Structures are given as C-alpha cells and as structure tokens.
Structure 1
Amino acid sequence: MIKMKCLLIAVFAVVVQCCLFAATTHADSNCDSCLEAALRPLYSQLDVFRDQLDAVHVSCKKDVLNCSEVGPLGMEDHRIPDASITASSFWGNRADHAPHRARLNFEGGLASSWSSAGDSDPNPWIQVDLGCNVIITSLITQGRGDHDQWVTEFQVAYSDNGQEWTDVTAEGECAPTKFPGNSDRNTHVTTTFPKAFHARFLRILPTQWSMHCSMRFEILGCKSHE
C-alpha cells in the first residue's frame, strides 16, 4: 500500500508539471524554453515510475507466493486420500505396489513403496491431486523400504486442471530441471524448487533409478490465499 501511494504521488506530480507547462506556454513566447523546462522534471519522474512499478510487482509476487510456515501437505498423514494419488503404471497392477503406497515412511505388505510396471513403462510418473490450489515449495523423496530400489533423478511438473502441465525449471532455463534423488532405501532427501508455485496437481517424473523405479515422498508447502 505504501508503494502504491508513492506511485500515486508521482502521478500527481506529473499532472502538476503538465499544468505548469500549459500556463507557461501562454505566458511566455519562448515555447522551446518552456517545453524544455516543463519536461525536465517529467523525465526524472519516469525513473520513479519504473522503480515504483517494479517494487509493486515484486511485492505482489512475494505476497502471493509466501508461506509463513512451510509444512507437509498430507501424503504421510493421509490427509491426501488414496484415490488422489495416481501413476502411469504400477507393478503387475497389484494393489501392494499401487501409487498410494508412495506415502513418505510407508511400511508394510509386499512392497513398501509405489513401484512402476518396469520395462513396459519406460517413462513412468506419479502424481497427486491436492484437492485445491496450494503453494508448493519443496519435496521430500525416499526409496523403497524393503528392497534396494530408489529413484536417483527426477523432473517435476504441475497443473491447475490435471490436463495442461508446466515443468519446473531453473531461472532463465526452458528445459525441465533434473533434480537429484535418493541413494538408499530410507534416507529422506529434500528438494527445494527454484521458486514456489501455485498448483492443484503435482507430478513427479523419474528419469533414472537404481534397480527399479520405486519411491515414497511428501509434498511441502502451504495453503494458498488466492
């Protein structure tokens, strides 16, 4: 609000300068001198406009994408229901390898993780419907708890509708960023994204893995105020 008030003051200053210019041109026959005198302060105000607009833009972005407290969004504690966790495939279409087993620290049954179908799915992915738009800041990944299988590298994409996807990229880059993953069964690896983003859907796209594409994870962020 303070920055916006400063911008309005700057606009008012320009209006005053224009009025002075009009009055001067009627009172003085030297129009060139009048024009130069009137425009000189206007030029200085242009830099003020630019600075104020940039400041307001940055301030708005920070306000929208700021999490006062980053926390888990519900994989581990089951606030995200099983039906909201889907994948391109899972091993043998068996429930004991299904996507909902990708919850961080999940244990039990035959497979303590989600496991893709293998060779029949060369480009696997797993995604979560968070139910509404939230601010996402980071991700915790983990390998399969009962076998030496884990994702060593992955990409991330996000969406508002589950149809149109945006890749997470580094600043100034067009290609999707490849994030380092895990190197054992149970160690948590936290990946912080280059910048926070709004999304309802998050998709993880493993690009390399050890032995087999299997993983567990948690999404970190906070509720959106949009």
Structure 2
Amino acid sequence: MESDEILDADITASATKEGYTATDARLNGIGAWAADDFTIEWIQADIGYQTYVSGVITQGDGNDGSWNSWVESFKVSTFLSTNDTEVFVMNQDGTEIVFPGNTNKNTPVTTIFPAAVHARIVRIICLTAGDDVYVLRFEILGCKM
C-alpha cells in the first residue's frame, strides 16, 4: 500500500465521506479513508495476485487530517479472487477474530494473524471507532509468491 505497488483502482470501500476516499488509506499518508456512517463499513485492497498475508498495520487519521479519529476494533476477511467467497481470519476454535486497533490517530498498530492466510483481496471490517467516525490508513503484511 504505502509503496504504491497496489494501484488506487484496487483500493475500494463500502462507503466514504466526501474528501476521504479509499485511495487515501495508505499507511503514513497525509490523508485517510473515512467511512460515511456507523453501519458495517469496510475497506479492501486487491493485491493483484494470490499470496500469503500474515497481518495488517493500521493507523487513524492523517497528520493534517481534520478528524481526530481511528478504528479501535476490526475484523479481517480475505478473498482468493474477485468472484470468491469471503473468508474471515479465525481463531483456532473457528471463531472470527476481533482485533484491537488504534488508540490514537497517528501511531501505527501491527496486527499479526495466528497463521498466514492465502489471499488476493484483504478486507478490513470496522467495528468500533475512537471518535465519531471510522477513519483508517493501513498496510498489508505478506510476501510475494
């Protein structure tokens, strides 16, 4: 994400606030993605090929952003292709993991999955926010195959 290896066209979201697009969600960027409301909102990136993903790094609003907000908790799901079934990152007991997110708008939080997942598309589903809106920047951790 941060290196621009994932193209803007491959970063999408369920909804966005005006001026806070999905393409602004790159880790350490000046801007950020902001959801339109508090319904179930998500943002995702299509890596462009199947690979192993071991985690994500999240941040809140950008340094110059007007929102003092972040995502406090989230789930992660993946897809092997654009037509594939959504698969959540799970605990060993088969339950979907709710990951702790950020506690401020600038400090990156690294989240490592219990096991690497094979995926092409990585989706972050926002559950709770640090202020009045979901605001997020993120990076995907993994390796090229």
TM-score scaled to structure 2, two decimals? 0.93
Q: Distance in 1 between matches of 2:108 and 2:80?
A: 27
Matches within 5 A, 1:214-225: 214-224=135-145
Separation in structure 1 between the aligned mates of residue 104 and residue 93 of structure 2, nearest angstrom: 32
Structure 2 spans left out of the alignment, 5+ residues: none
CA RMSD of aligned residues (A): 1.0
- The structure number with the bigger radius of gyration is 1
In structure 1, what is the Cα distance between the partners aligned to 2:136 and 2:108? 11
**Which consecutive aligned stretches of 4+ in structure 1 deviate over 2 angstroms post-superposition?**
none
Gaps of 5+ in 1: 1-74
Q: Tell me the residue number matched to 2:23.
A: 100
Q: Over residues 19-59 of structure 1, what are the superposed CA-to-partner deviations in whole Å (9 max), with x where a residue is unaligned?
A: xxxxxxxxxxxxxxxxxxxxxxxxxxxxxxxxxxxxxxxxx
Partner of 2:50: 133
Which structure's relative contact order is higher, taking Cα pairs within 8 Å and 6+ residues apart? 2
User: Which residues in structure 2 correspond to 1:54-65 (within 5 Å)?
Assistant: none
Structure 1 counterpart of 2:34: 115
Instruction: Work out whether 1:169 is the aligned partner of 2:90.
Output: yes
Query: Normalized against structure 1, the TM-score is what?
Result: 0.60
| In structure 2, distance between residues paired with 1:80 and 1:194 | 24
Structure richer in strand, relative to its length: 2
Contact 2:104 / 2:130 at 8 angstroms: preserved in 1? no
Secondary structure of the corresponding residue to residue 41 of structure 2: coil
